[in-house]
Chains A and B, each alone.
Chain A
C-alpha cells in the first residue's frame, strides 16, 4: 500500500511559520486605518457601502489562496514523498529432479494453478535454473527418471538448497516439490521462513536392494554386504561367497541388475549395472587399522573404548587390528580410525590424513559443564546418564548422531574432505557419563566403525524423512517483517508536483488580485 511521508518534516513545520505573512498582509489590509475627521461624509457614502460589502469575501478568498501557496511551499520544503507498494512478490515453485513424472502429474493442477497466479517454476538444483513451460510439460511426460548415481558431492542437499532459495527470493512464497528422501536431507534443518510450503511427493521407488560393501577376509572367499532399503529402514545382511572367477556374474540381486566380479589391476572389485547406470564396489581385502591414543588423564576412557571397539570389531567381516597405546601412531601407518583421547590437540599431520579419508574420534576437552541428562539409545534399555558435557558449540557443518534428552548432541560428526571427524561431547570415564556401563555402547559404535567409505550407493537409499521433520524452527515474524520493510517499493519524491501546484495557485492569486483591482477602480468611477 503506498505510504505518504515527509522526509524533512521539521523544515516543513518551520516553513509553515510563513503562513503568518499572508495573514499579516490580510490583517494589514483590513486594519481600520487612521481616523480622519472630515466635515461631511456626503460624497463618500455611495461608493463606500458597496466597497465594504465586496471587500470582505474577496479579501478572504485571496487570503486563503495565499495561505495555500505558502502552505504548499512549506510542504515542498518538507520533501513530501510517497512510497509505492512493493511489487507483488512472485512465488517460486521449486521442483526436485528426483520427483517422478507420476508424482508430478498428480500435483499438476496445483502447480498449474500456481503458475497462473504468477509463480515461476525452478529446478531444485544449484543456481536454481528456471524451468520453461516446454521443460515443464517434458517433465510431466517423462518416464521414471533414471536413478542417477551421482557422487556424494553431487547429491543435492535439499535443506541447503531451500535455504539458498529462501535467501535468493526473500519474502516470496516458496513451494518445494520434492520427495522426502532422507539421503537428500543432510545435516541439521536450517531455519526457514514461514512462507516455505512443502509438497512432498512419493519417490519413484519405495524399496531398493543394493550392494553396500564387499570384503575379502580370506583369499578364497568374499563377503558381500547387501542392503535392502524400504521407506522406513535399511536392513543389511552379509552374504559369504566363494571367491568367484573374474567376470563372473553373481546372482545376488534381482534382475535387471547385473553384478559382476571384475578385478582390475590386482584390485578386486565388483561392478553393478542397472540399465544404463553402473557403480563399482571395491572389495576390501586389507585389514583395517584402528588406533586408540590416550594420555594419563584418559586412561579410564581408553580402557572402555578399547573394550567396546574390540567387541565391535569382532563382528566385522575383516577383523580390524586395534592398538590401544599411550604412544602416538607412526605417521607411516595407514590408519582407518584414530581415536584421539588426549588433551593435546591433534597434530596437523593427522588432521591432513582426515582429509584423505581417515576417521578421527575426539572427546570432550577437560573443561566441561555439569549436566543431568540422559542418552536414550534404545527403547528396551534404560537410558544412559550423562553427568558432564562440553561447552563447545556444534560446528555449522556437523550434525548430531546421538542426541541427549535435552536435545543437545552427544556425538556429532562433521565431514572434512573425504574423511569424517567424530566428536563425543562427553567422555567415557565414569565421572563424565555412564556410557562405560552401558551394554549398548559396542552396538552403537558398530555402524560407525564399520560404515563403508561414502560411495555412490548412498543414492539408492530409499528411506524417507518423517514429514513432521519439515516443520522445524521457523524464522520469527519480527525478522520477516524487518526484511519485508527493507524490501518496500521505490520512494517517489512529490516535491516537483507540489511546487507546480504552488505555481498554479500563484497564477490564480495574481488573477484574483488584478481582477480585484480592476473591480475596485471601476467601482470608484462615479456612475455620473
Chain B
C-alpha cells in the first residue's frame, strides 16, 4: 500500500486513486442482494405469497415442481462525497501533504472504488464562493469529471453560509454521504449541515481529517502560528504550549466523537500520515452493511 505522500507525488489523480483502491479490492467481493434482475443467480422453491411472475414455468413443465428463478437486482446506491474546502484544510503536515491533498486523494480513491462497485458517485465541494456540485451518475465518464473537479480544487475562505448550503439539503436523494472535513467550525455549522443531510439522505460517514503534527503538536521552539481562516497570528514557544494543546485537542476530539455518534453519524478520525486503506475499508464496510 502506498503512503499518501507517494500517491500525492504521482501527480496523477486517476492513477493514484486506482493504486490506492486496487490493493484493497483485490479479492474482495461485494455482497449482492438477491432478487429480481437480469442476471441469474439461483432457484428457490415456491412459497405461497411469492410473485407468480417470477415462477419458472419451463422448469415447472419439465419437473412439475414450482421454483422461483432468482437473479441479482440492480443496485442504485448513490455515494455522495461532501468535501470541506475551507481555508483550514490547507493545514500542512510534516510530510508536506495538506489536509486538502489527502482529502483529494481519498475522494478520488473512494469514487474509484464506488464506481467499481457500480455505484453512482456525486461530489459536492463546500466552498465559500458557492457549492460545486457534481450530480450522481453511473456512466463511465463520471470518474474523469470527478477527477478533474478534484484537481482544480482550491481551499479558501470560511464555511459557506446557510443559504449557500440550502440546495444541498433541498433534494432528497437517498444514498451514503461521506463527508471529509477537519471540523474546524466557528459555531456548529458543519454539524448542523450533516444533521440535515442525514435527515435528507440517510447514512453519513464523517471522516475527520487531522494532521499528525496537529495531533502530536510536534512544533518546536519559537513559532508564529497563523490561523488559516482568520489570518490571526500568535508568537509562542511551542514547547511550552504542547501539553496544553494536547489536553485541549483530545478533549475536543472526544467530545466531537461523542456528539457525532449521538447524531447517528459514523465518525472516524484519519491522520493525514496514514495510508488511505483504512478509510476505504470503512467505506466498503459501510456499503456492505447498507446493502445487507
Interface residues of A (CB under 8 A from B): 29, 31-48, 51-52, 520-521, 523-526, 528
Contacts and interface: CB of A to CB of B under 8 A. Distances in A.
Interface string B86-109: 001111100000010000000000
A283 to B, nearest CB: 117
Nearest to B90: A37
Contact of B241 (A34, A40, A524): A524
A33 B184 contact: no
A40 B184 CA distance: 7
Given A37-B92, A39-B184, A51-B240, A45 B224 contact: no
Nearest to B244: A526
Given A32-B222, A33-B223, A521-B240, A41 B234 contact: yes
Contacts, number: 97
Contacts of A41: 225, 227, 230, 232, 234
A34 B218 CA distance: 13
A37 B242 CA distance: 16
A423 B89 CA distance: 120
Consensus secondary structure, chain B interface: mixed
Q: Among the interface residues A32, A37, A523, which one has the most CB atoms of the partner chain B within 10 A?
A: A37
A46 B229 CA distance: 19
A43 B247 CA distance: 9
B88 A52 contact: no
A39 B182 contact: yes
B217 to A, nearest CB: 9
B226 A36 contact: yes
B243 A37 contact: no
A275 B89 CA distance: 132
Contacts of A29: 222
A34 to B, nearest CB: 6
Given A39-B88, A41-B232, A33 B224 contact: yes
B226 A37 contact: yes
Contacts of A524: 240-244
Nearest to A41: B227
Given A33-B224, A44-B225, A520 B235 contact: no
Nearest to A45: B234
A524 B237 CA distance: 10
A38 B214 contact: yes
A35 B226 CA distance: 7
Given A36-B224, A48-B241, 7 more contacts: A35-B226, A36-B226, A39-B89, A39-B182, A41-B232, A52-B234, A520-B237
Nearest to B231: A37
B235 to A, nearest CB: 6
Interface centre among B99, B229, B237 (most CB of A within 10 A): B237
Contact of A43 (B91, B219, B249): B249
B248 A40 contact: no
Given A39-B88, A44-B245, A34 B224 contact: yes
Nearest to A32: B224
Instruction: Identify which of A35, A38, A52, A528 gathers the most chain B CB atoms within 10 Å of its CB.
Output: A38
Contacts of A526: 243-244, 247-248
A38 B230 CA distance: 11
Contacts of A525: 243-244
A40 B240 contact: no
B36 interface: no
Contacts of B247: 526, 528
A36 B240 contact: no
Q: Which of A33, A40, A43, A45 has most chain B Cβ within 10 Å?
A: A40
Contacts of A44: 225, 234, 236, 241, 245
B48 interface: no
B98 to A, nearest CB: 9
Enumerate the 10 nearest inter-chain pairs by beta-carbon distance, A residue then B residue, closest first: A33-B222, A39-B88, A43-B248, A524-B240, A39-B184, A35-B224, A33-B223, A39-B91, A41-B227, A40-B184
B221 interface: yes
With most chain A CB atoms within 10 A of its CB, the pick from B182, B222, B244 is: B244
B190 to A, nearest CB: 13
B24 interface: no
Given A33-B223, A33-B224, A45-B234, A38 B240 contact: no
B193 interface: no
A39 B234 contact: no
Given A31-B222, A524-B244, A40 B88 contact: yes
Contacts of A523: 240
B244 A38 contact: no
Given A33-B235, A35-B233, A520-B237, A47 B244 contact: yes
Contacts of A51: 236-237, 240
Nearest to B182: A39
29 contacts: A31-B222, A33-B222, A36-B224, A36-B225, A37-B90, A37-B91, A37-B227, A37-B228, A38-B227, A38-B228, A43-B248, A43-B249, A44-B241, A44-B245, A46-B244, A47-B236, A47-B240, A48-B234, A48-B235, A48-B241, A52-B236, A520-B237, A521-B240, A524-B240, A524-B241, A525-B243, A525-B244, A526-B243, A526-B244
Contacts of A42: 248
A43 B245 contact: yes
A38 B222 contact: no
A432 B159 CA distance: 128
A9 to B, nearest CB: 39
Contacts of B225: 35-38, 41, 44
Most-contacted residue by chain B among A41, A45, A52 (CB, 10 A):
A41
A38 B226 contact: yes
A53 B222 CA distance: 15
Contacts of A36: 219, 223-226
Contact of A48 (B228, B236, B249): B236
B266 to A, nearest CB: 22
A36 B238 CA distance: 11
Contacts of B252: 43
Contacts of A38: 91, 214, 225-228
Contacts of B92: 37
Nearest to A521: B240
Given A47-B244, A526-B244, A52 B223 contact: no
Nearest to A48: B234
A47 B241 contact: yes
Nearest to A51: B236
Nearest to A525: B243
A44 B252 CA distance: 14
B249 to A, nearest CB: 6
Contacts of A520: 237, 240
Given A39-B182, A43-B249, A48-B236, A34 B223 contact: yes
B96 to A, nearest CB: 13
A424 to B, nearest CB: 100
A24 to B, nearest CB: 15
B213 to A, nearest CB: 8
Nearest to A30: B222
A41 B184 CA distance: 10
A528 B251 CA distance: 12
A449 to B, nearest CB: 109
A48 to B, nearest CB: 5
Given A520-B237, A521-B240, A523-B240, A39 B229 contact: yes
